[in-house]
């Protein structure tokens, strides 16, 4: 396949950082929540090595916020996720799958609590706001549901703490994982959280005024000079090594929350009503038919994956793989795949055929052991 250009037009939203992203020589973007999301500046492996050693700034404005505020805000947020949200403190975020009345995954956002009755649902790639507005209307709830002018900029990598301490002060170091503070950077109002889509540590700066995008980028860039900062983006190799699943690829609205490994983010006995309760209860007693698993093909560098790869066992299709990258750390191709429960136990083997080559993949545990 030759490279094909995506035509950027007003139908695809811009980000407040786009000018700097282009100046830094972005080579490829994808479309996420109807907005550009950078993919590569050099190449995935080069960017992976840099991310694991230094610090990068990522334009992740495409991780849009759906704000839910008003008297019934908590009740509405509880209704759309099987995770218990009430214990989440103001100034905290929680990773919480959204699930509909069939238990199917609508999205896998971080939910941030800005006030007792005000939340941001920081979404992956699906049209969450339309669904949430529909639920709120159907229930006659007293809430406001809208997309605020908020654009996250991630600072990720082992030097992120040093950079952020230089930029906003030493107190940045004491922000705990998935906690946030409200502050200003370069005059821009921001929410500063310790979070981000890598296992390398770092922060997400939720810019609350898109007119300040370039000023914010420039301030981060300036502070990053002594730490060899580069422009980057969520990295395919790093996220496979860390086990971060991507909604739309690794799980979709065709998949049940219990099939996607969300058990630890589900509180079936939470006191609040939630839409997926009955479905999850039934699935739990019947047992799931499929599971999202880690697969490893040792010593092979499999090609990039355009559409899902079919997986077989004993001549029968038992699932499909949705993400793949070669990991320098494990000297193996790592994959995420949805497979039949019978083929999902660590140590199980499945076969895949790519461009005439046949490979054996082994199911691995959560941390690739």
State which of positions 151-170 bind ligand THG (CB under 6 A). Answer: 152
Q: Is 63 in the site for ligand THG (CB under 6 A)?
A: yes
Supply the minimum distance, in Å, between the C-beta of residue 305 and ligand THG: 20
User: Which residue from 57, 80, 88, 110 is in contact with ligand THG, where contact means CB under 6 A?
Assistant: 110
204 counts as binding ligand THG under rule CB under 6 A? yes
Decide: is 324 part of the binding site for ligand THG (CB under 6 A): no
CB of 126 to ligand THG, least distance (A): 10
Q: Cβ(65)–Cβ(147) under 8 Å?
A: yes
**Count residues contacting ligand THG (CB under 6 A)?**
16
**Residue with smaller CB distance to ligand THG, 61 or 335:** 61
Taking the complex as a whole, how short is the minimal distance between the CB of residue 292 and ligand THG, in angstroms? 13
Q: How far is the CB of 313 from ligand THG (least distance, A)?
A: 28
Considering only 15, 56, 69, 122, the residue that binds ligand THG (CB under 6 A) is 122
Per CB under 6 A, the segment of 17-25, 77-85, 108-116, 360-368 that binds ligand THG is 108-116
Which region, judged by CB under 6 A, interacts with ligand THG, from 106-114, 167-175, 209-217, 313-321? 106-114
Nearer to ligand THG, 113 or 141 (CB): 113
- For residue 244, state whether it binds ligand THG (rule: CB under 6 A): yes
For ligand THG, the binding residues (CB under 6 A) are: 63, 94-95, 108-110, 122-124, 152, 178, 195-197, 204, 244
């Amino acid at each position: 396949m030759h490279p094909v250009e995506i035509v950027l037009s007003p139908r695809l939203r811009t980000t407040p950082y786009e000018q700097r992203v282009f100046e830094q020589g972005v080579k490829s973007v994808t479309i996420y929540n109807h907005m550009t999301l950078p993919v590569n500046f050099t190449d995935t492996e080069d960017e992976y090595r840099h991310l694991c050693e230094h610090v990068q700034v990522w334009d992740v404005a495409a991780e849009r916020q759906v704000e839910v505020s008003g008297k019934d805000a908590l009740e509405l947020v509880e209704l759309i996720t099987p995770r218990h949200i009430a214990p989440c403190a103001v100034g905290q975020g929680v990773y919480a799958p959204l699930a509909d009345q069939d238990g199917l995954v609508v999205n896998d956002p971080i939910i941030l609590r800005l006030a007792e009755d005000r939340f941001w649902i920081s979404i992956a790639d699906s049209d969450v706001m339309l669904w949430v507005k529909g639920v709120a209307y159907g229930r006659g709830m007293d809430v406001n549901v809208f997309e605020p002018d908020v654009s996250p900029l991630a600072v990720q990598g082992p030097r992120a703490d040093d950079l952020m301490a230089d930029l906003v002060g030493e107190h940045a170091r004491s922000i705990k994982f998935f906690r946030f503070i409200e502050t200003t950077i370069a005059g821009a109002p921001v929410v500063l959280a310790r979070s981000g889509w890598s296992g390398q540590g770092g922060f997400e700066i939720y810019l609350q005024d898109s007119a300040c995008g370039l000023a914010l980028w420039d301030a981060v860039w300036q502070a990053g000079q002594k730490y060899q900062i580069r422009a980057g983006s969520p990295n395919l190799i790093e996220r496979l090594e860390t086990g971060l699943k991507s909604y739309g690829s690794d799980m979709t609205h065709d998949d049940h929350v219990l099939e996607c490994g969300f058990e630890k983010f589900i509180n079936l006995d939470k006191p609040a009503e939630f839409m997926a309760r009955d479905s999850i209860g039934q699935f739990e007693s019947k047992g799931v038919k499929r599971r999202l698993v880690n697969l490893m093909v040792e010593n092979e560098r499999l090609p990039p994956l355009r559409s899902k790869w079919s997986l077989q066992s004993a001549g029968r299709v038992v699932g499909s793989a949705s993400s793949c990258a070669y990991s320098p750390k494990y000297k193996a191709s790592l994959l995420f795949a949805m497979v039949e429960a019978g083929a999902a136990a660590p140590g199980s083997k499945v076969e895949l055929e790519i461009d005439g080559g046949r490979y054996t993949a082994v199911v691995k545990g959560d941390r690739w052991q």
